[in-house]
Amino acid sequence: MHMNNIKGNDLLSIGYQQGKILGLALEVLEKHYQESDRETLLSLMKDVLQQPEAFLDHEILEDLATKMIEDAREVQSAIILSETAKEFSVYGADHIDSGAIRQMDTAMKLPVTVGGALMPDAHQGYGLPIGGVLATKNAVIPYGVGVDIGCRMALSIFDISEQHFVENQAIYKRELIEHTRFGAGHGYQGKHRSEHAVLDRAEFNMTQFIQQLKDKAYSQLGTSGGGNHFVEWGVIEFAEDDQPLNIPKGKYLALLSHSGSRGMGATIAGYYTRLAKELCKLPKEAANLAYLDMNSEAGQEYWLAMNLAGDYASACHEVIHNKLAKAIGGKLLAKVENHHNFAWKETWNGEEVIVHRKGATPAGKGVMGIIPGSMTAPGFLVRGKGEETAINSASHGAGRQMSRTAAIQNITRQEMQAILKANEVTLIGAGLDEAPMAYKDISIVMDAQKALVDVVAKFSPRIVRMADDGSKED
């Protein structure tokens, strides 16, 4: 039997490219043309490559020709990135990994991009880096918002002294355990569920897809996710009187929480990211930055769903804080809340833009925010300065310096316990992936953004609760 013996390199030499088409062509040759003359076959395969439309009725080569035409159409419909990235501001560049810089470079080549900035807690993520801020013209990027839509910080300050807290820590720990629930997929059932006006929002009925998420939202209302989400008691110190908040200089008990829109937000993010990728064909390196036109039905749908998820995340914090405030009986002096993993319509450089803050805190002039450290490092209550080059943003925390996998492999339980003890922190739950050593030094991060925010008060964690297994959201 005469074997044609044509290999991949032979097809590459006549113009084929690495990929599915090459593999399919080799399969066709092996299955149907084993006994054909080699030179005749190479000439035939070259003809198919150059004029696939001529082979659409061919008994053997029809499927290969069809696939070639489909791929050519896909390439033609792909959105072309700019050859050079627009310039963007970087804060704390010495402590930001190269992967985050590369991701931001890619985002700055999108045709809809008008501005960008990288915060000092930045590290590599999916699509936009964590700590990335991107302003676009009339387009919203689901993965530029992120999976945990509307993830936020909420801080309640009470008229309870540090001394009273220290003397009654066992009570505060008991109530923290009683009124919080953590972990991917976890929720409440029956009479233990909480009620909130957000569940009556009309947006839950806008599509069948959103409608079917309502029961999950109901069960998870007032709960927190896994990963780096937490609810913690701590002491907040105002070094001087703060008139806007009407809080005198001193130390106070405070409750700080961090979590987002739970399973509902994650499901919305996944659905609209897939839809964006179908509608917006970007080159492979930018595929996770697929965007939706704000004038399209899909863009409007996502915008409404994103805002619903953000308001739901806020409702979760409200339920938690109300439960614990009632349990301890303290007078609420002030409450501050801010969110990240979101997109806002804002005016920047004189034009309306969509500002994506994926792990970045809004820091417009006079805007209050909370920037946490780690379970042992202090967090900070801040007031934004409205820095235009940062697109009115700041960091959303200390930022990871070690991946979750690296943290689990390199940090021991004993090391984690030692740093908790040294900082007088009681920890409930959490895995080694959330160990304090996995995070950047918050003092370095704050120093890198002095032009972005003013520090109003310092928060020191004392009793921290996180997911028992360090799980991520479902």
The first and second tokens of residue 452, run together, are 């972005």
DSSP 239: S
403 contacts: CB under 8 Å, gap ≥ 6: none
CA dist 379 and 101 (Å) reads 26
- From start to end of 70-127, where are the E strands? 89-90, 113-123
366 contacts: CB under 8 Å, gap ≥ 6: 244, 383, 384, 386
How does strand 426-428 pair with strand 453-465? parallel
CA dist 186 and 333 (Å) reads 31
CA dist 152 and 336 (Å) reads 11
Amino acid symbol at 81 = L
CA dist 319 and 196 (Å) reads 8
Report whether 21 contacts 71 (CB < 8 A). yes
Q: Which of 196, 317, 321, 396 is catalytic?
A: 396
The first and second tokens of residue 182, run together, are 């953590």
340 is catalytic: no
Report whether 148 contacts 473 (CB < 8 A). yes
How many Cα atoms within 13 Å fall on the side-chain side of residue 243? 1
Beta bridge partners of 275: none
Q: Which single residue is written with the structure tokens 């985050």?
A: 100
The first and second tokens of residue 190, run together, are 């029956």
| Other residues' Cβ atoms within 10 Å of the Cβ of residue 380 | 22
Measured over all CA atoms, what is the biggest interatomic distance in the chain, rounded to whole angstroms? 95
Report whether 342 contacts 260 (CB < 8 A). no
Q: Which single residue is written with the structure tokens 């939202």?
A: 217
223 contacts: CB under 8 Å, gap ≥ 6: 180, 181, 182, 186, 187, 188, 259, 262, 316
The first and second tokens of residue 234, run together, are 């701590």
CA dist 400 and 413 (Å) reads 19
Q: Which single residue is written with the structure tokens 């070639």?
A: 68
Report whether 219 contacts 189 (CB < 8 A). yes
Provide the sign of the torsion angle of the four alpha carbons 155, 156, 161, 162, taken in this order: negative
- From start to end of 26-97, where are the E strands? 89-90
CA angle 115, 84, 147 (to 5 degrees): 50
The first and second tokens of residue 173, run together, are 């720990």
Which residues belong to the active site?
396
